[in-house]
């Protein structure tokens, strides 16, 4: 192996590591989107159980995004377009509409943050808490967080 070959091989490892890091962040973003959709799904279930209100009412109540601050209107717009019209659908289909609306909102918020010079989505405490929690689950012996015997 020549010196040039060794440098190419060495460079390949760095490139592979960067690709793996990038791949992890793509998967992390997908996981964050799923987590946000599941949180909203649970909110819908809570609002459904609290009253005999119509499904549309539970969806409207769950679609309040004050925690999104400057991006609340963006989230609300995706919720109104993608989720509210799905009020009468079976739960599985309704959830898919929720997840699609969340995906669109997260991706649009991410782009808007870059355009506006705001803190990137990946630097928000909510996002980082999701990453920490998920990594903790992956690194423990038991995914449920229970310690083994001993």
20-58 pLDDT per residue, tens: 555 666 789 999 999 999 999 999 999 988 867 677 899
pLDDT score at 135: 85
pLDDT score at 148: 45
Of residues 137 and 144, more confidently modeled: 137
Percent of the chain clearing pLDDT 70 (strictly above): 75
- Do residues 65 and 76 lie in contact, with contact meaning Cβ atoms separated by under 8 Å? yes
CA distance 23 to 72: 29
Q: Which residues contact 6 (CB under 8 A, 6 or more apart)?
A: none
CA distance 17 to 83: 39
- What average pLDDT does the segment 141-146 reach? 54
- Do residues 31 and 134 lie in contact, with contact meaning Cβ atoms separated by under 8 Å? yes
pLDDT score at 137: 85
C-alpha angle 30-36-40 in degrees, rounded to nearest 5: 145
What pTM does this model have? 0.76
pLDDT score at 79: 98
- What average pLDDT does the segment 108-135 reach? 94
Chain segment 16-25, per-residue pLDDT in tens = 555 555 566 6
Mean residue pLDDT across the chain: 84
Q: Which of 139, 135, 127, 107 is nearest to 35 (CA)?
A: 127
């Amino acid at each position: 192996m020549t010196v040039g070959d060794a440098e190419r091989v060495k460079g390949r490892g760095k490139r592979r590591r960067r690709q793996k890091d990038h791949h992890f962040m793509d998967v992390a973003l997908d996981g964050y989107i799923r987590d946000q959709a599941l949180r909203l799904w649970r909110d819908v279930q809570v609002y459904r159980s609290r009253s005999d209100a119509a499904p549309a009412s539970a969806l409207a109540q769950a679609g309040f995004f004050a925690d999104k601050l400057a991006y609340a209107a963006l989230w609300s717009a995706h919720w109104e377009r993608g989720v509210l019209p799905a009020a009468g659908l079976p739960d599985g289909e309704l959830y898919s509409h929720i997840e699609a609306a969340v995906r669109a909102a997260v991706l649009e918020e991410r782009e808007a943050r870059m355009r506006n010079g705001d803190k990137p989505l990946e630097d928000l405490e909510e996002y980082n808490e999701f990453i920490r929690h998920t990594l903790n689950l992956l690194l423990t012996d038991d995914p449920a967080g229970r310690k083994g015997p001993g």
